[in-house]
């Protein structure tokens, strides 16, 4: 046998890998493209602007009309801020609110990773938008792209060493894993302009990412056993704090969580993060770096659908993963303590912080802050924030916490909420406050079906049915996405509704509130107007035979897939 016959050629790298490699540290031709009078970027720079925090989209509602008129797509841009732990100041909030009005579509959206997104920005306004965001001391750098994304932490502003330390660590890791390339500064912040390839560039070292950055996105979060509102099990890297006597003494390091999959492609699947090892606080950064470097070197760079860390873990198993991680970690790895997660608080309503101040959590339906009809949420928040200048936390459940408030603020906040038509959190149904939807149509180019615009009416129907069944006091999580990519983590919830095609969805049940288990398919290709009717027999049976205070997902899990499916035909 010849050498040629025995040697397997290295797999072909994906097109995005080549774009990254030739990008001169994420510069590409973005600066030149911005100067060009056009509505969109070329294919290469369309990929690169993601690293700078923006996606090229088009208004999908306008597609048909424009097609009839013979005009092309209405291109526009989404701009995402990366906000570690969701912590923003009052002036930053007000700046984003102004930018949304001036350059975007007049709405703000809190994301499922504690960030802000603006939609509908035109290319001609993209530079001003990102520049203005940076002037408010927020950033969009690395909010998207093949790097470590926003680092999440439990958002509650409790004045305890534990909550404060998790926020501090989130800030630190976000900074530590931010790309070092000066491209962002040059392009958006009026740094030294870059002439094309011939110019001598200010190339800096990317000690963690190297020349090719990561094979794919990478997501980090911190959680507490009593507060897993960040959904630790969906993260590439999660730190579950071990608390003793009010202090963090270490963390169970989890790796390999992820949600995205493709309908009909069994090579893609959601995966629950696994505990890999235990790290002490002084080992945390090196442990995190080890996992990122392992991913950098072993992630799939040929097939982007298989490029996430979860596929490395699924292929290797925990033992091999730990052994390889050991080659990156400068300390001996010890086994995880397998700390159990028990809580998933939303932090809505009025709470004492523990330092004499208070915070107030306001539920934002699907994260969208807008004025519409009598519901003037955006004006209400702007007014409250101008008046009290609170510090602010955005939650992974797409809600907002107004923090550092004086005690006397409560009645005034309630009065203003009433004036602007906002329902107080304790008057909302539990199913609504525990629901999430992704933006989907009209902005998301990958959406197969509606989500954000469809979920409110599904929740309305569910509220009626749950009340009739006497289940309205149950916390049942419902998460809806317009495609199987799983942007609001629908595969861990009690009920998952995942866009399939047009008005048809795949229905999932059997996850749980704390997100520690994957759900399973109850029924495929369910028409939107049949979603609640399809769930009804399962909900009724749950009411009839639940054991103790068993949750809906736990009951479905106990019954099993075939028994649940038999109920819905």
Shorter beta-carbon distance to ligand SRM: residue 112 or 181:
112
Using the contact rule CB under 6 A, the part of the chain among 282-290, 428-436, 462-470, 480-488 near ligand SF4 is 480-488
Shortest distance, position 486 Cβ to ligand SF4, whole Å: 6
**Binding partner at 14 among ligand SRM, ligand SF4, none, C-beta below 5 to 8 Å by kind:** none
Q: Using DSSP, state whether 430 is helix, strand or coil.
A: helix
- For 30, 164, 168, 243, the CA distances from 159, given in Å and listed in that order, are 43, 7, 13, 15
Q: Which is nearer to ligand SF4, 154 or 499 (CB)?
A: 499
Q: Which among ligand SF4, ligand SRM, none contacts residue 482 (Cβ within 5 to 8 A by kind)?
A: ligand SF4
Shortest reach from residue 347's CB to ligand SF4, in Å? 24
User: Binding string, 385-424, against ligand SF4, x = CB under 6 A?
Assistant: ----------------------------------------
If we measure between CA atoms, which residue out of 133, 140, 120 comes closest to residue 184? 140
* Alpha carbon distances (Å) from 355 to 155, 247, 387: 16, 17, 21
In the complex, minimum distance from the CB of residue 525 to ligand SRM, in angstroms, rounded to a whole number: 21
Question: With respect to ligand SF4, which residue has the nearer C-beta, 11 or 445?
Answer: 445
Residue facing ligand SRM at closest CB distance = 260
Q: Find the binding residues for ligand SF4 in span 423-462 (CB under 6 A).
A: 438-440, 444, 446-447, 451
Nearest distance, CB of residue 497 and ligand SF4, angstroms: 11
Which of ligand SRM, ligand SF4, none binds 108 (CB below 5-8 Å, type-dependent)?
Answer: none
Task: Give the one entry of ligand SF4, ligand SRM, none that residue 248 binds, where binding means its C-beta sits below a cut-off of 5 to 8 angstroms depending on kind.
Answer: none
CB 565 to ligand SRM: min, Å = 25
Q: In what order do the strands lie in the sheet with 349-352?
A: 87-88, 391-394, 400-405, 358-362, 349-352
Beta strands across the sheet bearing 368-369? 54-58, 75-81, 116-121, 108-110, 368-369
Tracing tokens 């080992």 back to the chain, one arrives at 283
- The closest alpha carbon to 313, from 269, 363, 281, belongs to 269
Catalytic residue numbers, as ranges: 80, 149, 217, 219, 438, 444, 483, 487
With CB under 6 A as the contact rule, the residue among 485, 493, 506, 516 that binds ligand SF4 is 485
* Residue 329 vs 397, nearer CB to ligand SRM: 397
Decide: 291 and 237 in contact? Cβ < 8 Å. yes
- Least gap, CB of 440 to ligand SF4 (angstroms): 4
Binds ligand SF4 (CB under 6 A): choice among 194, 478, 487, 535: 487
Number of Cβ atoms within 10 Å of the Cβ of 326: 14
Q: How far apart are the first and last CA of the chain?
A: 57
Q: Cα–Cα distance between 497 and 540 in angstroms, integer? A: 19
Q: Is residue 298 classed exposed, middle or buried when 0-12, 13-18 and 19+ CB atoms within 10 A define those classes?
A: middle
- Measured CA to CA, the distance from residue 284 to residue 250 in angstroms comes to 8
Q: How many other CB atoms sit within 10 Å of the CB of residue 453?
A: 15
Q: What DSSP letter does each residue of 65-77 carry, written as one string?
A: HHHHHT----EEE
Q: Which stretch binds ligand SF4 (CB under 6 A): 109-117, 120-128, 246-254, 476-484?
A: 476-484
The CA distance from 446 to 441, in Å, is 9
Distance between alpha carbon 165 and the CA centroid of its chain, in Å? Answer: 22
Which residues contact ligand SRM (rule: CB under 6 A)? 55, 57, 78, 80, 111-113, 115, 117, 143, 149-150, 219, 231, 234, 258-260, 308, 367, 438-439, 443-446, 485-489
Q: Residue 112 or residue 228: which is nearer to ligand SF4 going by CB?
A: 112
Contacting positions for ligand SF4 (CB under 6 A): 438-440, 444, 446-447, 451, 481-483, 485-487
């Amino acid at each position: 046998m010849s050498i040629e016959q025995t040697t397997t050629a290295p797999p072909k790298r994906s097109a995005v890998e080549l774009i990254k490699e030739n990008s001169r540290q994420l510069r590409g031709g973005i600066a030149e493209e911005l100067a060009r009078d056009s509505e969109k970027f070329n294919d290469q720079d369309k990929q690169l602007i993601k690293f700078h925090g923006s996606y090229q989209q088009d208004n999908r509602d306008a597609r048909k009309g424009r097609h009839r008129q013979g005009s092309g797509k209405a291109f526009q841009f989404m701009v995402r801020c990366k906000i570690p732990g969701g912590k923003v100041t009052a002036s930053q909030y007000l700046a984003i609110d102004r930018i949304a009005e001036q350059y975007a579509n007049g709405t703000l959206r809190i994301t499922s990773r504690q960030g802000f997104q603006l939609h509908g920005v035109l290319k001609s306004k993209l530079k001003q938008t990102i520049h203005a965001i940076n002037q408010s001391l927020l950033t969009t750098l690395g909010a998207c792209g093949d790097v470590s994304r926003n680092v999440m932490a439990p958002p509650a502003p409790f004045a305890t060493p534990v909550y404060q330390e998790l926020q501090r660590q989130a800030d630190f890791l976000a900074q530590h894993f931010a790309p070092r390339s000066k491209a962002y500064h040059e392009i958006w912040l009026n740094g030294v302009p870059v002439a094309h390839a011939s110019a001598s560039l200010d190339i800096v070292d990317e000690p963690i990412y190297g020349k090719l950055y990561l094979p794919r996105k990478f997501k980090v979060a911190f959680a507490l056993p009593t507060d897993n509102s960040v959904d630790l099990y969906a993260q590439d890297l999660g730190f579950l704090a071990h608390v003793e006597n009010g202090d963090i003494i270490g963390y169970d390091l989890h790796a390999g969580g992820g949600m995205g999959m493709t309908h009909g492609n069994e090579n893609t699947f959601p995966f629950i993060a696994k505990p890999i090892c235990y790290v002490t606080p002084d080992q945390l950064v090196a442990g995190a770096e080890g996992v990122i470097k392992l991913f950098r070197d072993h992630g799939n760079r040929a097939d982007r659908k298989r490029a996430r860390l979860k596929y490395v873990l699924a292929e290797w198993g925990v033992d091999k993963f730990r052994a390889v991680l050991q080659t990156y970690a400068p300390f001996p790895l010890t086994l995880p303590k397998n700390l159990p997660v028990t809580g998933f608080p939303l932090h809505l309503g009025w709470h004492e912080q523990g330092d004499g101040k208070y915070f107030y959590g306001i539920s934002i339906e699907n994260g969208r802050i807008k004025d519409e009809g009598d519901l003037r949420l955006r004006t209400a928040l702007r007014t409250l924030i101008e008046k009290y200048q609170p510090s602010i936390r955005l939650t992974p459940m797409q809600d907002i916490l107004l923090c550092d408030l004086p005690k006397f603020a409560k009645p005034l906040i309630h009065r203003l909420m009433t004036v602007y038509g906002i329902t107080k959190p304790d008057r909302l149904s539990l199913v609504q406050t525990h629901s999430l939807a992704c933006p989907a149509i009209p902005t998301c180019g990958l959406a197969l079906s509606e989500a954000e615009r469809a979920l409110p009416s599904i929740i309305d129907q569910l509220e009626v049915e749950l009340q009739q069944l006497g289940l309205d006091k149950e916390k049942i999580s419902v998460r809806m996405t317009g495609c199987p990519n799983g942007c609001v983590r629908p595969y861990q919830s009690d009920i998952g509704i995942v866009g399939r095609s047009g008005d048809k969805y795949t229905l999932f049940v059997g996850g749980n509130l704390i997100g520690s288990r994957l759900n399973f398919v109850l029924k495929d290709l369910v028409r939107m107007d049949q979603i609640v009717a399809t769930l009804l027999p399962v909900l009724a049976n749950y009411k009839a035979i639940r054991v103790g205070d068993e949750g809906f997902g736990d009951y479905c899990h106990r019954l099993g897939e075939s028994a649940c499916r038999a109920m819905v035909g």
